[in-house]
Amino acid sequence: MTLAAELRQRLTNSEAEMIQIRRHLHAHPELSHQEVATHAYLRQFYQDLDCQVRDLGTGQGVVVDIQGGHPGPKLALRADFDALAVTEEENGLAFRSQNSGVMHACGHDAHTAYLLVLAQQLMALRAQLSGSIRIIHQPAEEKAPSGAQDLIAAGVLDEVDRVLGAHVMSTMPLGAIGYHLAESQTGRSNFQITITGKGGHGSMPQLSNDAIVAGSYLVVALQTIVSRRIDPSEHASLTVGSFDGCGTSNAIQQTVTLKGDLRIMKEETRQVIHQQLRQICRGIEATFGVQVQLDLQTDVPVLYNDPQFTQEVVAGLKAAQIPEITQITDFGAQDPSEDFSYYALQCPSTFLYVGCDVADGQTHPHHSPDFKLDERCLLIAAKAVGTAALNYLKPEK
Ligand SMILES: [Zn+2]
Ligand SMILES: [Zn+2]
């Protein structure tokens, strides 16, 4: 039996444990930057295992090094473990969230469960590994400041040659492994715009300067950036998600605050949109005589999957002919942003998708109160990532 086949057999034997861990994490979700109990759970898991475990970064990050018995490269495997401010629907699950208003609605519980068991089984085989594996348990993926950025600043990628990550996907069928080359998930910027005019009596608009009217023109003008300034073949979106102008019916509003975000698939597109945002804000000031303060922040980079590494991973998975994996498909670029992109900026990396659709004829979108996954995806994720890891650590490299 090959080493990879032995690993997969061990993972099959550990499937129940993966599911049990996932259910525990699902019942006890924690918001980004507050993952204290999850951190304690991770440390407890590794306590009796013979490995180097350390806390890293300013948050709840946990890093584990598995040193192989033979020399070779260093591969990092990363899973995130934060949850979202979403209330899980009344779904009758025994492991429904016990933390009111918080839910593992993105599947990070599944990521952490499969990676814990995969790490444990890789440790059991460590004498036969050529190279080493760094397990990265990352907090704070969902909310800035990014947990990935923090761990990188603390040195998590020191001496690392490649990084591999995976995300479960409820939009992809169970059994599917998805991949994409090069630009694969959007980069994100967020902005807050405060417009200050002059408040006054609703019956005497000539004595005031209405921030709501200026803000309304601003929202409409912002819609022209993507539609009129960006090549239609480019991926870009701009959303104003909040317009806070709550006042009263007979008073002219002095100040309004707008919040929004933009997504792009190329960093050059981000620069065009940033420049247009600034220009339109100046234009609104000149047109309406208001003050416009723009707070614009680059949030997440575009996720770039190293084409060569991705192709090697995909070829290795196809050759392994893992029975639970029924298709390995380029699913194209994905709209959401993902802070795995910070690792990929520093080091050749790839990010796989693991189909987890429960196939009940309904959609269960990520970040929604009825997000659901088919738990058989845990074993598939562990086998795919574990197989790719052993392929990368092959002695001839
Ligand atoms: Zn998410
Ligand atoms: Zn996620």
Helices 376-392, 108-124: axis angle to 10 degrees equals 50
Q: Which of 141, 64, 149 is nearest to 342 (CA)?
A: 149
366 is in an annotated binding site: no
235 is in an annotated binding site: no
Three-state SS at 206: helix
382 φ, ψ (degrees, to nearest 5)? -65, -40
70 is in an annotated binding site: no
Q: Which of 397, 378, 395 is nearest to 174 (CA)?
A: 378
- Structure confidence at residue 50 (pLDDT): 83
How many secondary structure helices (H) and strands (E) does the chain include?
Answer: 10, 16
- Structure confidence at residue 1 (pLDDT): 87
Q: Cα separation of 238 and 228, whole Å? A: 12
In the set 82, 109, 183, 357, the catalytic residue is 82
The string of pLDDT tens digits covering residues 282-330 is 999 999 999 999 999 999 999 999 999 999 999 999 999 999 999 999 9
Question: Quick check: 107 and 167 in contact, CB under 8 A?
Answer: yes
- DSSP secondary structure of 101-125: T-B--SSHHHHHHHHHHHHHHHHHT
In the set 30, 35, 109, 141, the catalytic residue is 141
Rounded to the nearest whole angstrom, what is the distance from the C-alpha of residue 106 to the centroid of ligand 1? 5
* H or E stretch at 171: strand 162-173
The string of pLDDT tens digits covering residues 346-379 is 999 999 999 999 999 999 999 999 999 999 999 9
Question: Quick check: 316 and 166 in contact, CB under 8 A?
Answer: no
Rounded to the nearest whole angstrom, what is the distance from the C-alpha of residue 31 to the centroid of ligand 2? 13
Nearest ligand, CA of residue 85?
1
108 is in an annotated binding site: yes
Rounded to the nearest whole angstrom, what is the distance from the C-alpha of residue 54 to the centroid of ligand 1? 26
Rounded to the nearest whole angstrom, what is the distance from the C-alpha of residue 131 to the centroid of ligand 2? 29
Rounded to the nearest whole angstrom, what is the distance from the C-alpha of residue 142 to the centroid of ligand 1? 6
The residues pairing with 354 across neighbouring beta strands, listed in sequence order, are: 168, 177
In this model, does residue 397 exceed pLDDT 50?
A: no
Nearest ligand, CA of residue 351?
2
274 is in an annotated binding site: no
Q: Cα separation of 84 and 199, whole Å? A: 38
Q: Cα separation of 141 and 79, whole Å? A: 10
- Name the pTM for this structure: 0.94
Write the single-letter amino acid at 188: R
Q: Cα separation of 250 and 122, whole Å? A: 68
- Structure confidence at residue 256 (pLDDT): 98
192 φ, ψ (degrees, to nearest 5)? -130, 130
Rounded to the nearest whole angstrom, what is the distance from the C-alpha of residue 194 to the centroid of ligand 2? 30
Rounded to the nearest whole angstrom, what is the distance from the C-alpha of residue 175 to the centroid of ligand 2? 19
Q: Which region among 229-233, 243-247, 358-362 has the lowest average model confidence (pLDDT)?
A: 243-247
Cβ atoms within 10 A of the Cβ of 98, count?
Answer: 11
The pLDDT > 70 percentage for the chain reads 99
Nearest ligand, CA of residue 143?
1
What's the rounded mean pLDDT across residues 144-149?
Answer: 96
- Structure confidence at residue 396 (pLDDT): 61
**Bridge-based pairing state of the strands 349-357 and 162-173:** parallel
DSSP 8-state class, residue 31:
B
What's the rounded mean pLDDT across residues 199-223?
Answer: 98
Which stretches within 210-295 are classed as H helix? Answer: 211-224, 267-288
Which domains, from first to last, does the chain contain? 3-174+356-392 (3.40.630.10), 186-300 (3.30.70.360)
Rounded to the nearest whole angstrom, what is the distance from the C-alpha of residue 367 to the centroid of ligand 1? 6
Residue 141 is among the residues annotated as catalytic for this protein: yes
Three-state SS at 330: strand
